[in-house]
Chains A and B, each alone.
Chain A
């Protein structure tokens, strides 16, 4: 695998524009960022600052208009649909604001889903799924359907789904936006543990203060540009404010 130095993710002068009538909007405007393995980083900033767009490009769900993004040694802008899908399947886990669980599948099947594309025996899959559910403390809800879960439980299933294949990168877009404080902290504690135990790189897009308290690196985006990129001391345990 061709890697850019020791970085898992490298972006250089990343530009992403969207047409808006006759003009175009710059969602990202020359973003250059590098992420090492094991980082617990967050993109913060107001709505429209380009956080989700950055995650989408790094997650190979979208392509840059200009500039370059190299993820796990793969140039995102040159990947075919198939190669991008493979990169996501092998190396990237996603956690979404609205959980995005597949409604007709059980908790177990939702977590197993991502492993189905990897050539893995049923026994191995079972072992990994149960382990992931143990991590998020939902092993006893394996047979439940998403409709039977609370918001916090649903997001924990989403976390289990993201980590089950033990990807080097997990991208979490506003993972606590639909959760109450207690569930948010539970989820974040789980993520910190997984980051520490598995060495998974977590990159968040958030403007939730609860999440920001956990970050070790805070990147502030404003109007598609990096306004500040700083290493921060994370606050341990639950925060007081919502």
Chain B
């Protein structure tokens, strides 16, 4: 316990130099955790929104269905197979029929995706209840992005043209019954939702669907011929990759900050080793071995990060708790390319905090150790004269 005791004493004795390093390093702690929590929060929020509004417990896709290739949609439909229909009947799944169609907002042709969904479904948080048909008008639901792009408002009629199951063109006017506000762009942009049964009838696709969304936490996932189950890991892979790419970009800032802090510590260590040679010589004369002196100086450097962690906790914890409550308001018009609300709420984990502390501690220890290797070559007689061997 001698070395830690002396290291603390020396560190405190160094005064302002220590505290400057500690403050910079504590900033690195807080900013690293802040940014990591921000990206984790973004990821969690985006995934949660996608799960709630689009994916639920996963999706069965018709074997031809590929949401990234609209040209395949014409053939991407089939009868809902027995095991899936059973789930639908029990309220454990919701079929969705998808087809390409065209609209003519302000006289210009625009290709859209027409989606049919059961107005009574409760599997995803889409406001499908507005699609309950009353009268002859076909009710249609669009998102705010679609409304903005097409200039459509609630109550407007829009002519939609499509090709039915036999390839025949058909068209009809739909009434926009609701404009939904959603953070999930992939259920909004370029899409019109109508009642499933109406769509099946219009398309000539009785009892058919392109995909079937199963309820959250569904355990029983039967294999169904001609349909492929896509689990959440698959469905959220794009978001995971996007978050990873964004975190990598964001991490540049904290790597930069960490480098600055490490530079300060490295500089302090190098200075210490040059300025405190006499002290080292004295310690050796009093019976310290070189390895003990190295340990002492390395620990002194590494302890900057321990002090920094304490200081960071003092002002960082209240800040991060406050941030967790208030969230981070995104500037208007910010588009991250995935589902986010107007505010990002950070996501913390013990692993993240412990990981950050361990990372900074390890880097600081290495940075502190590197300059002390010179001590190994130091002759006590040279050190006492203030000379480097």
Contacts and interface: CB of A to CB of B under 8 A. Distances in A.
Contact of A117 (B287, B379, B384): B287
Contacts of A104: 9-10, 12-14
A81 interface: yes
Contacts, number: 62
A61 B279 contact: no
A135 interface: no
Contacts of A82: 289
B286 A103 contact: no
Interface string B1-31: 0100110011011100000000000000000
Nearest to A100: B282
B282 A102 contact: yes
A86 B287 CA distance: 6
A62 B2 contact: no
Q: Which of B5, B286, B381 has the most CB of A within 10 A?
A: B286
Given A62-B380, A100-B384, A88 B279 contact: no
B286 A89 contact: yes
A59 B285 contact: yes
Interface in B235-284: 278-279, 281-284
A96 B5 CA distance: 25
Contacts of B292: 85
A61 B289 contact: no
Contacts of B278: 98, 100
B288 interface: yes
Interface stretch (A108-116, A207-215, A223-231): A108-116
Given A81-B290, A88-B287, A89-B286, A62 B381 contact: yes
Contact of B2 (A81, A98, A117): A117
B9 A94 contact: no
Contacts of A98: 278
A79 to B, nearest CB: 12
B288 A105 contact: no
Contacts of B289: 81-82, 85
A102 B380 contact: no
B384 A96 contact: yes
B9 A89 contact: no
Interface in A66-89: 81-82, 85-86, 88-89
B2 A61 contact: no
Contacts of A103: 13, 279
Contacts of A178: none
B285 A61 contact: yes
Contact of A88 (B6, B14, B285, B384): B285
Given A100-B281, A104-B13, A61 B381 contact: yes
A90 interface: yes
A61 B284 contact: yes
Q: Which of B5, B9, B287, B381 has the most CB of A within 10 A?
A: B287
A161 B283 CA distance: 12
Nearest to A94: B285
Contact of A90 (B9, B282, B287): B287
Contact of A89 (B282, B287, B381): B287
Interface in A144-190: 161
A100 B6 CA distance: 17
A103 B275 CA distance: 12
A94 B286 contact: yes
Given A62-B379, A90-B287, A113-B286, 10 more contacts: A59-B285, A85-B287, A88-B285, A88-B287, A94-B285, A94-B286, A96-B384, A104-B13, A104-B14, A117-B286
Interface of B: 2, 5-6, 9-10, 12-14, 278-279, 281-290, 292, 379-381, 384
28 contacts: A62-B381, A81-B290, A85-B284, A85-B289, A85-B292, A88-B286, A89-B286, A90-B287, A96-B282, A96-B285, A96-B384, A98-B278, A100-B278, A100-B285, A102-B279, A102-B282, A104-B9, A104-B10, A104-B12, A104-B14, A105-B9, A109-B9, A113-B286, A114-B287, A116-B2, A116-B5, A117-B286, A161-B286
